[in-house]
Homo-oligomer: A and B are copies of this chain.
């Protein structure tokens, strides 16, 4: 029952999400021995200004 939550700054295309789901599912199947029908992935796309790192907002850092 791995539940994988991917929270990131910015957005992904549908195609990127599809490939990431495929690869992460394979990773959990191959390395952790989890059946693929148990692997759930969930994406959370958020704005850069919603992230802080080292005391600064991410959009100040880049």
Report the nearest B residue to A6, measured CB to CB. B4
| In contact, B24 and A24 (Cβ under 8 angstroms) | yes
For A53, give its contact among B5, B28, B39 (CB under 8 Å): B39
* Cα(A23)–Cα(B16), bound, Å: 16
Hey, which bits of chain A sit against chain B, CB under 8 A?
1-9, 12, 14, 16-28, 31-32, 34, 36-46, 49-58
Report the nearest B residue to A35, measured CB to CB. B54
* Cα(A54)–Cα(B35), bound, Å: 8
* Cα(A19)–Cα(B26), bound, Å: 12
A25 proximity list for chain B (CB < 8 A)? 52, 54-55
| In contact, B1 and A8 (Cβ under 8 angstroms) | yes
